[in-house]
Copies of this chain bind each other. A is one copy, B any other.
Amino acid sequence: MKESRFQQWQHERPGAARKGHMVTIYDIARAAGVAKSTVANVLSGKGKVSEATRQRVLYYARELGYRPNLLARNLSQHRTFTVALILPTIANPFYPEIMEAIEHILRQRDYQTLFCNTHGDFALGRQQMERLMSRWVDGYIIMGSSMDIADIAHYFRQGVPIVLCDWQENESPSDIPQVTVDFFRAGQLAAEHLLALGHRRIAVIVDEPQQHLRLEGFRTTLRQAGLELPPDRIALGDSSLESGYAAARQLLSVGQELAPPTAIFATNDWMALGAMELVLDRGLRVPEDISIVGLDDIVVSAHLRPPLTTIAIPKTRLAQEATELLLAQIEAASREQGHELPLAGEGNDGAPQRQAETAPLRLVPPSLVVRQSTAAPVSS
C-alpha cells in the first residue's frame, strides 16, 4: 500500500520525552538502536525492513512525538509538493470561488496550495514570484490580470512549470500551457440572449483590453443581426463593482444623441452588480426598464433582487484542467531531471530548454444562465 506523503504522526503521549528540541529521525534511530536510514526507510515505507524493527521504529517515533521536518525533506528532494496560485485580487468574489475549487483539487492530489494576491500590481506580482522561485513551490497556476505576461514567459522559458488560467487565449505566447474559457463564445451567448428577447439598444461595460474577446464575441453577434455598437454604448470599467456603477451612470447619462439602452451586458458579474445598483438608484426597474447580463456566475448573483442573468464559467472544470496541466509539467520536470525540479536552465550552454512549440490550450465552454434580470424591452 502506497503511503501518503503526509502520513500523520500521533500527538506525543502524555509523558513522552519533550525535552530538548525537535525530535529527529536520528533520535528515533538511537532509541530504537538502528541507523538513521533504517528509520527513514520505515517512515517512507520504501526500503526493506523486517517487521520487528519496523514496529520498534514506529513505536519510538510515536513515543518521542516525532514529526517530520518538511523543510529538510524538501531541501533534499528538491520538491515541495506545493503549488502557488497567483491571482489579481480577492475582492471580486469570482476569485475566492475559483480559489476554493483549485485548492480542493490540489489537495486531493496531495499538494498544498499557496495563494498569492498581487492586487493587480505587476511589480508586486513579480516580487512575489521572485520570492516563490526560491524553491518554495513546484509550479504555478497564474490567473489572468495578476502578472505581466512577459515576466511569466521569462520564467516559463527557464523551465518553470506554469499554467495560465482564465486568460484570454490570444493574450499570451502560445508556448505556455493554458486553460481558459471561450470568452468570445461567452460574448456571443450574451448577445444572442438579448437579441432573442428583442433588444436593439444595447450597451456594454467592459474591462479593456483584458476582456476584449468577450466584447468581440458580443459585438460580432450584434453585427450579424445588423446592429453596430457605437462608442457611446461602450463604457470602460476595471472589473470592480464600483467601476460598474460608474460605467452604468455614463451609459445612462443624458445629453447624448442616442436613446438610452434597454439592455446592458457587463463583462463580469461584479461590474454587473454595480451597474444594477446604479440603475435601481436611478429609479429604473430591472428588467422592465433595463435588462442586465453579467458574466462569471458568482454565488451572490443568484441571490440578488432581481437575480442576475449571466454567462456561467465552469469553475470546477477550469480548476481540474489547470491542475492536470500543471501536474503533468511538474512530473515531467521531476522525471527528466532525475527527481530534481528545474529552477534555472537545465540545458546545454544557454540553449533555451523549452521548445517554443505550441502548448496545450484548453478552452472550456461557458453557458447562459437565465434569471430575472433580463426580459423583453417594453418600448419595443
Contact = CB atoms under 8 A, between A and B. Distances in A.
Interface of A: 6, 8-9, 11-12, 15-19, 21-23, 65, 67-72, 74-75, 80, 90-91, 93, 95-96, 99-100, 103, 112-115, 117, 127, 130-131, 133-136, 154, 158, 241, 273-274, 276-277, 280, 299-300, 303-305, 337, 340, 342-350
Contact of A18 (B70, B93, B136, B344): B344
Interface centre among A17, A277, A340, A344 (most CB of B within 10 A): A344
Given A8-B127, A299-B91, A345 B18 contact: yes
A355 B160 CA distance: 47
Contacts of A349: 19
B130 A8 contact: yes
Given A70-B135, A131-B6, A305-B280, A348 B90 contact: no
Contact of A71 (B16, B80, B347): B80
A274 B22 CA distance: 48
Contact of A134 (B11, B69, B241, B276): B69
Given A15-B350, A277-B303, 6 more contacts: A19-B350, A23-B344, A69-B134, A91-B299, A93-B300, A96-B96
A84 B340 CA distance: 27
Contacts of A74: 71
A18 B350 contact: yes
Given A8-B130, A115-B115, A305-B280, A67 B241 contact: no
B12 A273 contact: no
Contact of A11 (B69, B117, B154): B154
A268 to B, nearest CB: 14
A71 B241 CA distance: 40
Contacts of A303: 241, 273-274, 277
Given A19-B349, A91-B299, A131-B6, A71 B136 contact: yes
Contacts of A154: 11
21 contacts: A9-B130, A18-B158, A18-B344, A18-B350, A19-B350, A21-B342, A21-B346, A67-B344, A68-B134, A71-B71, A71-B136, A72-B75, A75-B75, A90-B99, A90-B100, A91-B299, A96-B96, A112-B131, A241-B303, A277-B305, A304-B305
A71 to B, nearest CB: 5
Contacts of A23: 344
Interface centre among A65, A69, A273, A299 (most CB of B within 10 A): A69
Given A71-B80, A99-B90, A347 B299 contact: no
Q: What 6 A-B pairs are tightest by C-beta distance, nearest first?
A: A18-B345, A70-B134, A22-B343, A90-B96, A96-B96, A71-B75
Contacts of A299: 91, 241
